[in-house]
Amino acid sequence: MQTQKARKLLMIPGPIEFEPAVLAALAEPTPSHVAPDFIEVFGRALDNLRTVFQAPDGQPFVMAGSGTLAMEAAVANLLEPGDRVLQINTGYFSDRMAAICERSGALVTHVPAPAVGDAPGLAEVERALQQDRFKLMTITHVDTSTAVLTDVAALAKLARSAGALSVVDGVCSVAGEALPMADWDVDVALTASQKALGAPPGLALVMARPRALEAFRRRTRPVASYYADWSNWLPVMQAYQARKPAYFGTPAVNLVLALDVSLAQIIAEGMEARVARHARLSEAIKAALTALGLSQVPLRPAVAAHTLSAPYFPAGVDGAALLGKINAAGVILAGGLHPALRTRYFRIGHMGAVNAADVLATVGAIEQGLHGVGYRFDAGSGLAASQRVMQGQAGHPPFA
């Protein structure tokens, strides 16, 4: 049996560390999916998702599945063969979204970043929109492979002006980055439970606003994916919101119980405060990496995500050995994912329940790992840089 002391801190870009109350919900006796108490919980969770997505006019969908299912459900219900999609490409998961769109018969045009670690310029996107008529613009808010953040507000505005629906992959951003759907006029946003939403893996979540639902209702062919078809899920979601029983596929009931707890915690924190907290934790991590002489995949601060960081391994350092040393120091980090530089960098997740103590423990483990592989640096420089951010010496008030 593993003791609490033996447990390592999980600081990857999902799954993340979870609050004890969220984990406790998983241990509740499993209820019937049509039991009155569960109907109330599920209905409340759906209502609270509107608050978290900041989409009072949105229709939430919660399905058992991964973030990839959420991606498919978001676009498969809107696309028919021959439709055109403009993909704003910032990495591995942008490529995945394009592949999903192509499976629905869409014709995909990519607007690539000028380099790995950057985001396409708005002028380039505008030029692409002038070349054709697109039904969707798909945007990866934070690409988990590159830690690149896109300007969703500006991109959604461009999409609207060109008559395209905006679909935002928020798997690594929702509840960690600013994404006020209604204010930014985003048509669809999607995420998964195991990232900044702070619930265990297994739930795919989509929020569709009125224009997207209208486009879905106007389609002329059945949705190619039976499981992801909103025709099957919409009556179920609406029934639970009305506190009535319904069935299409059995929901992951204990995960919904956990989601309900997590959403209540997020709303109690407040969306503005939560986004600000993620920004500060990110700044503390990135300040430490800079102090330690580690460059990062995002090429400039404006495109650097606040939910994860992606530092390069130091020159001459064996990346696998470094991650092993960090693991031995008590913190689990993730290796690279983008195929162009997979072995050259690693990834640190800092979202959801992660707090200042977790960040300092992570920086300390990175310092210990760097020392263990023979990298030369000023001992404690990373921790000191993080502490300066935490103590309000970098232009912010100190953490409470």
Name residue 60's beta-bridge partners: 207
Across-strand partners of 143?
148
Over its length of 400 residues, how does the chain's per-residue pLDDT go in tens digits? 455 567 899 999 999 999 999 999 999 999 999 999 999 999 999 999 999 999 999 999 999 999 999 999 999 999 999 999 999 999 999 999 999 999 999 999 999 999 999 999 999 999 999 999 999 999 999 999 999 999 999 999 999 999 999 999 999 999 999 999 999 999 999 999 999 999 999 999 999 999 999 999 999 999 999 999 999 999 999 999 999 999 999 999 999 999 999 999 999 999 999 999 999 999 999 999 999 999 999 999 999 999 999 999 999 999 999 999 999 999 999 999 999 999 999 999 999 999 999 999 999 999 999 999 999 999 999 999 999 999 886 555 554 4
For residue 357, give every residue at least 6 positions away whose Cβ sits within 8 Å of its Cβ, in sequence order, or none.
Answer: none
Count Cβ neighbours within 10 Å for each residue of 281-295 and write b for 16 or more, e otherwise: bbbbbbbbbebbbbe
- 227 burial via Cβ count (<10 Å: 0-12, 13-18, 19+): middle
Whether residue 45 contacts residue 259, with contact meaning beta carbons closer than 8 Å, is answered with yes
Peptide bond into 15 cis (omega under 30): yes
DSSP 3-state of 136: strand
Distance of CA 64 to the CA centre of its chain: 17
Angle (CA) 95-192-218 rounded to 5° is: 70
Measured over the CA atoms of residue 156, residue 134, residue 105 and residue 116, the dihedral's sign is negative
Domain spans of the chain, in order of start: 9-15+271-390, 20-269
What is the dotted CATH code of the domain comprising 20-269? 3.40.640.10
Residue closest to 141 by CA, chosen among 120, 169, 167, 121: 169
Amino acid at 299: L
CATH class (in words) of the domain with range 9-15+271-390: alpha beta
Give 27's contacts (C-beta < 8 A, 6+ positions apart): none
Structure-derived torsion over alpha carbons of residues 222, 224, 227, 231, reported in degrees to the nearest 10: -20
pTM, two decimals, is: 0.96
CB contact at 8 A, 48 and 239: no
Q: How far out from the chain centre does Cα 48 lie?
A: 18
Using CB atoms within 10 Å of the CB of residue 31, give its burial: 0 to 12 exposed, 13 to 18 middle, 19+ buried. Answer: middle
Taking the alpha carbons of 273, 278, 282, 284 in that order, is the dihedral positive or negative?
positive
Q: Per residue in 105-141, is it b (16+ CB within 10 Å) or e — as a string? A: ebebbebebeebbbbbeeeebeebbeeeebbbbbbbb
